[in-house]
Amino acid sequence: MSNVPPAVVLLCGALLLPLLPRWARSLAFLLFSVVTLALLLRLEEGSSTSLRFLAFDLVPMQVDRLSLAFGYVFVLITFLGGIYSIYLQDTGQQVAALIYAGSSLGVLFAGDLFTLFVYWELMAVASAFLVLARRTERSRRAGTRYLLVHLFGGSVLLAGILWHFTDTGSLLFDRFDYGPAAYLILFSFSLNGAIPPLHAWLADAYPEGTITGSVFLSAFTTKTAVYVLARGFAGWDFLVWAGVIMAIYGVVFAVLENDIRRLLAYHIISQVGYMVTAVGLGTEAAINGATAHAFSHILYKGLLFMGAGAVLYSTNRSKLTELGGLARAMPVALSLYMVGAFSISGFPLFSGFVSKSLVLQAAELRHEETVVLLLYLAAVGTFLHTGLKLPYFIWFGPQRDLKPGPIPWSMYAGMVLTAGMNVAIGLYPRLLYDLMPFTVDYRPYTTSHVMETIQLLTFTGLGFWFLIDKLGGKPTITLDFDWFYRKPAPFFFRVTVVLVDSLFTAAEVRTLNLARALAKACANPAQFASRFLPQSNARGGWGLDDAKVFYDPNRYRHPVGFAILVVLSCFVLLLAWNLFLG
């Protein structure tokens, strides 16, 4: 079993799941996750598997500490999401979630670019289903856009892989050198990582996904992008500032959001910005920071989407302007959500505090003062909106006379376990640090660091208190970068689809008419030719009367012997050519 890629267990589980009784599917979902985790724990660092396929040497599994660290948290969130979704009993979503998780694991352990590409595309299709499965008009449109964007990104990735293979003769997945092939691959990875301006698909699709689907969506796509960037592009300076822009950009757009899951989606962009910045720094400390923050982010962002999903499930509302006064009706959901909010905001004793500080320390070691300052600014915005604005206007704020329904026990169970992991990591950072790719020599709980963090959060809280009337949600539409391709979309659709279809239709009609005319002419050549000669007159002229023309095809058909003679002549000529001129 130690040579079996971990992705295989989840993918085989996805195939078996529909064959099981309905009552057993949720338990089987959890069992497949547990078996995969057991397999991961048995993998040895440095082990790999290889095979020969279509004259290519492939490495479907290659294990190191970086892939293992990401693999552990991917399996953990699959298990926690499975517990959260026990109530659902939707086979389609369960199968899609297993395929999504399995293909994401496949990307982590892929040792060659061909294997990576196959899993990459499978991941795109499975994740799109989790958006489409909500079965609303908005989710249909968002899911279609999501799928088109990621299939386009996959096409660019394939072009880069082929170019890279042409240049190097190798498909091994390792650090890339600068060049056109690397730029194409970097573009595809950046699209999945939601680096602006390639980010709009995330805030467009994640809020429209199913309640449980969005939990999985928040975990895999952007983190696999962080992983492949760390694997192939660590130390590229471009990524430092791309990550800083992400961190600020996501926070700014979160200010404008009214939908609670869209607000959380923009904060995914912001938090992934920390990881991309660390990858760009490229040092061992920075790669540890990117990995640790991805690990804790998956847990606390999953918890935040679980909390938002519980509110949506209970009230059928997802906008701040439609929510409020739910604290008494949903105290447990509020408490568990706040664990995720404190974690993402970097509160001491929570997971975000011990992971985010690794990124900041790596930037400080590189003397990137501007980077550190801007990342602290993004941290202020994160606490302001995810930690204060969102919970206040959901659970407190104006009363809306809502009558929330009961929340399934499995939702609470998933949230409790996820919250416990966030607290455990915050209390015992070594649980996280010991899994990192390189040795972590850092102590987050120094007096100066704790005091700086408390001061930052305190002044952010005071700012929220004074600006609370200005920070409420507003029922407006936020225009993001996708406006630049949505606005001209009807024109380009008419040019590239409608016009081209009209041209092909016209060509097809004319071709069919010509074929019919030729068929008619060949059926009776004499009658066809008579149309171009003067018609006979009443006294009988020299012209042909079209009505009296009779054509007997047997009269003009060559005998079979003639055809045989032609074929034999061709063979003789070919033989002579090969003997005398070949």
pLDDT in tens, 94-136: 999 999 999 999 999 999 999 999 999 999 999 999 999 999 9
* Dihedral over alpha carbons 443, 444, 449, 452 (to 10 degrees): 180
Q: Is the pLDDT confidence value at 274 over 80?
A: yes
**pLDDT band at 231, cuts 50/70/90?**
very high
Q: Is residue 338 a contact partner of residue 391, using CB atoms and an 8 Å limit?
A: yes
**Mean pLDDT lowest among 335-349, 384-398, 560-574:** 560-574
Ranges of each domain in the chain: 1-172+204-232, 288-485, 489-581
Distance CA 187, CA 193 (A): 10
Q: Note the pLDDT tens digit of each residue in 386-442.
A: 889 999 999 987 888 888 899 999 999 999 999 999 999 999 999 999 999 999 989
Q: Please compute the mean of the pLDDT values over residues 451-458 and round it to a whole number.
A: 91
Residue type, 91: T
Residue with the larger pLDDT of the pair 550 and 248: 248
In whole numbers, what is the pLDDT of the chain averaged over residues? 89
Residue with the larger pLDDT of the pair 50 and 270: 270
Closest CA to 435 of 76, 9, 59: 76
Q: Please compute the mean of the pLDDT values over residues 125-151 and round it to a whole number.
A: 94
| Phi and psi based region of residue 474 (left: phi greater than 0; alpha: psi -120 to 50; beta: remaining) | beta
Q: State pTM to two decimals.
A: 0.85
- Strands 56-62 and 48-53, bridge-based pairing: antiparallel
- DSSP H or E stretch at residue 424: helix 409-427
- In terms of DSSP H, where are the helices of 366-477? 369-382, 390-395, 409-427, 430-433, 447-466
What pLDDT is recorded for position 576? 82
Closest CA to 218 of 136, 297, 103: 297
What pLDDT is recorded for position 223? 97
For the record, the structure tokens of 294 come out as 């991805």
Distance CA 251, CA 248 (A): 5
Q: Note the pLDDT tens digit of each residue in 471-522.
A: 776 777 777 877 777 788 788 878 888 898 899 999 999 999 998 888 877 7
Residue 228, judged by CB atoms within 10 A of its CB (0-12, 13-18, 19+), counts as buried
Closest CA to 315 of 213, 405, 411, 209: 405
What pLDDT is recorded for position 550? 56
Distance CA 375, CA 392 (A): 24
**CB-based contacts of 68: which residues, under 8 Å, 6+ apart?**
40, 43, 45, 435
Portion of the chain with pLDDT greater than 70, in percent: 93
**pLDDT band at 538, cuts 50/70/90?**
very low
Residue with the larger pLDDT of the pair 494 and 220: 220
What pLDDT is recorded for position 467? 79
**Mean pLDDT lowest among 135-149, 216-230, 535-549, 560-574:** 535-549
Distance CA 202, CA 344 (A): 19
Q: Please compute the mean of the pLDDT values over residues 156-181 and round it to a whole number.
A: 93
DSSP string of 467-498?
TTTTSS--------TTHHHHTTHHHHHIIIII
Residue with the larger pLDDT of the pair 490 and 451: 451
What pLDDT is recorded for position 330? 92
What pLDDT is recorded for position 532? 65
